[in-house]
Amino acid sequence: MAEERERVIKELISSGIERAIAEEIARDFTVSELSVSREELLAAGIVDRYADDILCMLGIELAGEVKPCDIEAQVNATPLPDKLKSELKSKLRVVRRLLTRDKLNTILKRVIGEYEAARVDPREAVGIVAAQSIGEPGTQMTLRTFHYAGVGAIYITLGLPRIIEIVDARKKPSTPAMKVRLQPEYASDRRKAEMLAMEIEETHIKDVCRVESSADDMCILVSLNNRELEKRGITRAAVEDRIKSLDMPVDMDEDKIKIYTKNKSYHELLRLEERISNMLVKGIEGIRRAIVRKGSEGEYMIYTEGSALKKVAKIEGVDFSRTTTNNIAEIAEVLGIEAARNAIIDEMISTLEEQGLDVDVRHVTLIADAMTVDGEVKQIGRHGLAGEKTSVLSRAAFEVTVDNLLEAAIHGEVDELRGVTENVIVGQPIRLGTGAVELVARSHMMQ
Amino acid sequence: MRTKRIKAIKFGLLSPKEIRKMSAAKVITADTYGEDGFPIETGLVNQRLGVIDPGLRCKTCGGRMGECPGHFGHIELAAPVIHVGYAKLIHKILSATCRRCGRLLLSEPAKQEYLAKIEEQKEKQADINEVVKQVFKEASKNEVCMYCGDYFSIDSEGLEEDLDKSSVSSELRERIEDRGFSVSKNAILHREIDPERLFRWGDVPGRDNKQLIEFLVRDFELTWVKKAKISKKDDNTVVISAGAKTLELSLSSRRDCVRLNFEGGRSYELPVKKEGMALFVYSYRWVITDTDKVYILKRGWDKLLIYCGERQKRIKYEKPTTYKEIEEDGRERRLMPTDVRERLERIPDEDVEVLGMDPANARPEWMVLTVLPVPPVTARPSITLESGQRSEDDLTHKLVDIIRINQRFMENRDAGAPQLIIEDLWELLQYHVSTYFDNEIQGIPPARHRSGRPLKTMAQRLKGKEGRFRGSLSGKRVNFSARTVISPDPDIGIDEVGVPVDVAKELTITVNVTERNLEAMRELVRNGKNHPGANYAIRPDGRRLKLMESNYETLASELDIGWKVERHLIDGDIVLFNRQPSLHRLSIMAHYVRVMPGRTFRLNPAVCPPYNADYDGDEMNLHVLQTEEARAEAKILMEVQRNIISPRFGRPIVGGIHDYITGLFMLTWGDKRFSKEEALDILRNIDFDELGEPAGIGEDGQPYWTGKQIFSVILPEGLNQEFRGKVCRKCTEQGLICRKEDCPNEAYVHIKNGRLISGVIDEMAIGSFKGMIIDRIYRKLGDSTAKEFISKASRLAINYILLAGFSFGISDEDIPEEGKEQIRDEVIKEAEEKVKRLIMAYEAEELEALPGRTLEETLELLIMQELGRARDEAGEIAGRYLGIENPGVLMARSGARGSILNLTQMAACVGQQSVRGERIMRGYHGRTLPHFKPGDRSADARGFVRSSFKDGLSPTEYFFHAMGGREALVDTAVRTSQSGYFQRRLINALQDLEVKYDGTVRETRDTVVQFMYGEDGVDPAKSVGGKSVDIDEILREEIGVV
């Protein structure tokens, strides 16, 4: 049975039907059963536009029309990039009934022609164009941090400071934050999502108890606030356990816990008070706030202030595959360099978009790729890409001129003058764009 | 002409030999000019070092000023001095090498390993510093030299207990001394783990067998194990056996040692260290530390194997150039540069390589200078002041100091002066040489000029923005350029630039005289200084003749083929036009010259956006191209029309602004009718074929043309387009049906075969950054058509706006009293009431905090929200009273200038002022100004400006507004500097990336950065707003649907 279904699905997909639809059809029909009329198909609840495709697939000729499989096959045969191919396919499929073979051919030819015309020229200095395209709107960006997603949500660094932060490959952003997506059962239930948020948000003893120091009997008084405890779903035992882990003489009372100092010094007392106040009873360290919000697709998710990707992954109910953070170094560490590259692109684009700036993705991808080629996230600047250049002159012209020259001498470095700055410095044409090619006139054409 | 190309530049240190070899003169006199005013023979401006005075000839090469590049000289230093730039490195090298034999303090295998690593890095063209750092770190840890010591052995019988002591027992000492070595009474003994690990426990039996056997043979002389079989008995036991002989290795239960159980009950313990999951077996050794020697004792079978090596002393580095060796007892002994140099000399070439240095080009001892090169005078020219006095360059001053002290040092030494004086002079010499290289060294006072200004020496010349690298090599001052204020001229094309005659007469282009242009050139020479003329004529022998009124005629007749003429700039010449900051490539574009009267550069306002220029006093630069190649390149790559589309987002960046949009908006809006005369007047200086049939006959019986028709005249034929303009109310988004051509706002622009059927022309149609029509024309009909269209559109817009008239004055911000009342008494009052209620609720602790916010934050947020809404409402009311006919509203709606918010602030209510994104909180304790009560949180007290700009602000409001304004000002200032540096870094990091012929993006090392540029190989500048192909468009054209 299952085998049969797989076969149906496979065949349907190969003739250009989307997987989701194919699966649905396969639930109702087997291959042999599919030799039915159009009406029957429609009656079975199959969407109108797919009915034809199915009949087509079964070899029932729809006179003169282009079959979905033709679109599939012909588009696949073009030398276009995959993204363009799938866009083209889906758009052609919609208008399939208006197509003829010839029309399809002319359309494909035009698409290929226009694609080829839009290709970059070899020797194009794409790096400079990318740098300019990101740098030029820099002056138009704001310097301040704003909130995110309306009232009451989390503050996030935006604008130029954020872009600089990304490009600097900082270990920790100034405002780390996560967007935690949830498993379906949590995502649809606000209460459950809120419970989860509580699970994530760090709760210190001072949040649920009153902590005082008493100089009279040299002890710390922790009085539990039952309302807060209940609100945050913390048991009294949990607090007690945490305090016991201090390994200090403790006196447990009805609603008060007394912790005695060992050396009976005021200094120790104050330090202990501080320490107890900041003990974690619940949540993940570093997550200062976790707020439940409804996402654009109607699912609840958790926005956090502070980031701890690895720890959040282990929490039941979190859909880790869709959970992100704005800390790129953390992504590189947890998910690897490719993920970090994508994170750089996403973060940059969303920051630019938020500022209402239009920058082509290609520029952003180039920067992200340049930052991550070597398998680690490298800064754009003296301690990263610019500092690791092969050319002595280029490094010297950027920053720390003297040190670079002294070091180059010691290492006996050779500058092969392959880059831009080096050649400008020695007064030669640069080896990019038109500077990279030479023009030779053929003598017989001169007449 | 084939020019030579520099292939590579090699860097290295100058050896004393090389310095002497390249020297043209030995400098010994600490002076420049003698009393007779001539340079001193052996002085610093020695004529053998090059010439800087016109008329003189170089005594080395015979060249004249300008021909002779200058020649180096040298100073023989009386005593070696440290090169400050390498002082730190010298310290590291001294610490890493043996004080006696100079060898690097690493074992031979370790050296080989590091060398291989360095080679590998070099192969990858990567940084070797990390490896070298490791070498220094490891080497300086070693306290004993393993190259200049001796190996011997002593009988170990009966010494077992002696080895557990912390001092050397007399028995042990005797046995060592028997072998001819001495151990002092103070020597200390201790046991430690030999840093060299033996093998990994898990890898025996296995790949570490060899190490184990080697160790057993070396330390226990068990030669039989070489042929033995090694097997594992269980996890904790390994057995080595050959015939009858067996040896058992067992791991202790605590996994901290391995016991070697020999036959006959003897056993020996080896320490085990856990590193991660792996267990590594080590061996013990004993170390006797004596004052100048170190003995390392290893256990043999019946013997102690002893190595006696030179004991290293710690070297202390005192900034900037002092080294001290620390003796056993803590005393410090200064290492003079001579000592340092001797030590560095002893380091063999092989070891130098391990330190990452290239011994052929940089021997370590060359970091201690014995000879100082004297740069040619051309590198440090003196200037003659108006008084006729010569003023020497800073470097010359510094060199004078060096020579003076150098001479004094020699004299004193020869006279046998006391050591103290010699050392002082040495120190002084070091100071001068140090500051000669770098005058900003920490810890020493900078050398100063007589006037008290710190001298600019070597490092200062190179460093920083104005330094040699950034200031004179990466960027230079150029000839053939002009700069002046820009002003608008809508009547010139977007690819033209109006050049003042005065400028055109100064800037020249060199033209070769040929038979084809001989007559024309003669005419130019005849005109001479008068505009279409020339400034110089160049004879075939290269002599430049200045044109003067006296020689116009003679030169014109003499002019012949083979001459060159430096002619004035004329109409049609291609020039580069630039406005700083040059943030992107569109900041420099090629324009065609239009020579005109006046003193400013004229520029079509449609090209302002790419330059980010306006006419409030902006200046721009103009560069005249001097070679045919440059002109060709400028034409093909840099013409304005080639750059209409911005590579940043793939849409037009050139387009209408301000009045252009207003003009066209008014022209095409509604049903405007024009008589033939009016129509032709609007189209006056525009090239067009025909006006077309009139739209109808008016009431007066005359035919009339509509505004849309007039606009259609400049649209190229065959243009088809449909889009929604800026005025679109986004009906579809609100679930309403778009009425397309029947849109009441005329938002649906429909162009059919070059005719505007419906819709009004606004920012979306021809504005910069948006410019749908420009975009379409550019793609469908080419850049020249697009250029023509923009040029025509600018004329059309201006013609119409001149005719129709357009102004915006203070009275245009007036709204009737009833409107004002509505705003004041309803909207704002209500909002203030609400704020009051909120504050009351807060004070009564009835306010519910928003999730994750404190009560106070919640209150602030709610107040801000409320007041923001009040302002918007006020704006809406104002907008209603002003009406669409109001020029302000018209400009905002069409996208020409300003926004509804600006109008709101002018006419209705300025709204909340903020500092750091919050209502204004700062000022006095608990209040912002003394006009309010402490703790007042009301709208007024926290910077809400209820007045409009038109009405005027109250004193408190004015002050709050100034606070917000100040923040914005500071913000801009900070932002420009930040983003400037940000862009410099970006450019520097990415400038070498290039698309190769195979479509990959690579950098200078040929490392692939992207396998296909942008993942699809499409140039954003050729894309359709980022998309490679507009499929919808093709489908629409081919089958007529979307």
Residues with Cβ within 8 Å of B654's Cβ and at least 6 positions away in sequence, in order, are B494, B606, B607, B609, B610, B640, B643, B644, B768, B771, B774, B790
What are the residue boundaries of the structural domains of chain B, listed by start? 84-142+313-363, 151-310, 393-476, 481-637, 659-804, 810-965, 994-1039
Question: Residue B949 phi/psi, 5° resolution?
Answer: -60, -35
Mean pLDDT confidence for B148-153:
74
The dihedral of CA B862, B867, B868, B869: what is its sign?
positive
User: Please, which residues 12-51 of chain A have a Cβ atom closer than 8 Å to chain B?
Assistant: none
pLDDT greater than 80 at residue B182: no
User: Based on the number of CB atoms within 10 Å of its own CB, is B655 exposed (0-12), middle (13-18) or buried (19 or more)?
Assistant: buried
Q: Which candidate from A132, A145, A153 shows the least CB-CB separation from B583?
A: A132
- Among B775, B994, B1011, B1015, most A C-beta atoms within 10 A, so best to mutate, is B994
Q: What percent of chain B has pLDDT over 70?
A: 99
- Taking CA–CA distances from A133, the nearest residue in chain B reads B648
Question: Exposure pattern of B990-1019 as b/e (b: 16+ CB <10 Å)?
Answer: bbbbbbeeeebbbbbbeeebbebbbbbbbb
Average pLDDT, chain A: 80
- Taking CA–CA distances from B437, the nearest residue in chain A reads A402
A vs B, Cβ pairs < 8 A, gives: 348
Residues in B closer than 8 angstroms to A164, CB to CB, are 978, 982
At A294-348, the pLDDT tens digits run: 777 778 888 888 888 888 888 888 888 888 898 999 999 999 999 999 999 999 9
Residues in B closer than 8 angstroms to A366, CB to CB, are 990, 993, 1001, 1009-1010, 1013-1014
> ∠ at Cα A322 (A317, A327), nearest 5°?
110
Instruction: Answer whether A120 sits within 8 Å of B474, measured CB to CB.
Output: no
At B706-755, the pLDDT tens digits run: 888 889 988 988 888 888 888 888 777 777 777 777 888 888 888 888 88
The pLDDT of residue B851 = 65
- Looking at per-residue pLDDT, the higher value among A45 and A424 belongs to A424
Instruction: Answer whether A167 sits within 8 Å of B985, measured CB to CB.
Output: yes
Band (B185; pLDDT cuts 50, 70, 90): confident
Q: Does A3 touch chain B (CB under 8 A)?
A: no
Instruction: Please name which of B293, B287, B201, B310 lies closest in space to residue B252, comparing C-alpha atoms.
Output: B201
B28: three-class secondary structure by DSSP: coil
Question: Exposure pattern of B730-750 as b/e (b: 16+ CB <10 Å)?
Answer: ebeeeeeebeeeebebbbbbe
Q: Does A411 touch chain B (CB under 8 A)?
A: yes
Tokens 């006296």 sit at which residue? B550
- Among A78, A83, A119, most B C-beta atoms within 10 A, so best to mutate, is A119
The pLDDT of residue A206 = 78
The pLDDT of residue B593 = 96
Q: Which candidate from A124, A412, A421 shows the least CB-CB separation from B991?
A: A421
The pLDDT of residue A151 = 42
Class (C level, CATH) for B481-637:
mainly beta
B998: three-class secondary structure by DSSP: coil
Q: Are B582 and B589 in contact (CB under 8 A)?
A: no
At B814-869, the pLDDT tens digits run: 888 888 888 888 888 888 888 888 888 888 877 777 766 677 888 888 888 888 88
pLDDT greater than 90 at residue B293: no
pLDDT greater than 90 at residue B624: yes
Residues in B closer than 8 angstroms to A111, CB to CB, are 1029, 1031, 1034
- Among A87, A342, A402, A417, most B C-beta atoms within 10 A, so best to mutate, is A402
How far does the CA of residue B46 sit from the closest CA of chain A (Å)? 29
User: Please, which residues 87-146 of chain A have a Cβ atom closer than 8 Å to chain B?
Assistant: 87-88, 91-92, 95, 98-99, 103, 106-107, 110-111, 114-115, 117-139, 141-146
- Looking at per-residue pLDDT, the higher value among B180 and B283 belongs to B283
> ∠ at Cα A78 (A77, A79), nearest 5°?
120
DSSP string, A376-421: S---SSTTTTGGG-S-HHHHHHHS-HHHHHHHHHHHT-EE---SHH
| CATH architecture for segment(s) A389-436 | Orthogonal Bundle (1.10)
pLDDT greater than 90 at residue B270: no
A176: three-class secondary structure by DSSP: coil
How far does the CA of residue A131 sit from the closest CA of chain B (Å)? 5
Q: Does A419 touch chain B (CB under 8 A)?
A: yes
Structure tokens, A227: 């309302």
- Looking at per-residue pLDDT, the higher value among B794 and B161 belongs to B794
Average pLDDT, chain B: 86
Instruction: Answer whether B1031 sits within 8 Å of A88, measured CB to CB.
Output: yes
Instruction: Answer whether B438 sits within 8 Å of A412, measured CB to CB.
Output: no
For domain B810-965, which CATH number applies: 3.40.50.2300, 2.60.40.1890, 1.20.1440.230, 1.10.132.30? 1.10.132.30
Band (A65; pLDDT cuts 50, 70, 90): low
Using DSSP, how many helices (H) and how many strands (E) does chain A show? 22, 13
Q: Are A55 and A67 in contact (CB under 8 A)?
A: no
Question: Exposure pattern of B476-488 as b/e (b: 16+ CB <10 Å)?
Answer: eeeebebebebbb
The pLDDT of residue B257 = 81
How far does the CA of residue A355 sit from the closest CA of chain B (Å)? 14
The pLDDT of residue A34 = 56
Residues in A closer than 8 angstroms to B771, CB to CB, are none
Q: Which candidate from B474, B1009, B1023 shows the least CB-CB separation from A373?
A: B1009
DSSP structural state of residue B1027 = B
Band (B306; pLDDT cuts 50, 70, 90): confident
CA B193 to CA B197: how far, in whole Å? 9
- Looking at per-residue pLDDT, the higher value among B847 and B766 belongs to B766
**Poorest-confidence range of A43-57, A208-222, B517-531, B784-798?**
A43-57
Is beta strand B748-752 parallel, antiparallel or unpaired with respect to B574-578? unpaired
At B64-113, the pLDDT tens digits run: 888 888 899 999 998 999 999 999 999 999 888 888 788 888 888 888 88
pLDDT greater than 70 at residue A258: yes
pTM of the model: 0.83
At B633-691, the pLDDT tens digits run: 999 999 999 999 999 988 999 988 888 999 999 998 888 888 888 889 889 888 888 88
The pLDDT of residue A149 = 43
Band (B1042; pLDDT cuts 50, 70, 90): low
Domain B659-804 is found in CATH 1.10.274.100: yes
The pLDDT of residue A55 = 60
A72: three-class secondary structure by DSSP: helix
**Ramachandran region of residue A34, left (φ > 0), alpha (ψ -120 to 50) or beta?**
alpha
Structure tokens, B36: 């007779």
At A125-155, the pLDDT tens digits run: 999 999 999 988 887 776 665 554 444 566 7
- Taking CA–CA distances from B1040, the nearest residue in chain A reads A98
Instruction: Answer whether B474 sits within 8 Å of A397, measured CB to CB.
Output: yes
Q: Are A315 and A196 in contact (CB under 8 A)?
A: yes
At B556-610, the pLDDT tens digits run: 888 889 999 999 999 999 999 999 899 999 999 999 999 999 999 999 999 999 9
Band (A57; pLDDT cuts 50, 70, 90): low
- Taking CA–CA distances from A111, the nearest residue in chain B reads B1029
Domain A203-282 is found in CATH 3.30.300.30: no
Q: Which fold has domain A177-200+287-325?
A: Alpha-Beta Plaits (3.30.70)
Strand partners, B937: none
Q: Which candidate from B976, B982, B995 shows the least CB-CB separation from A123?
A: B995
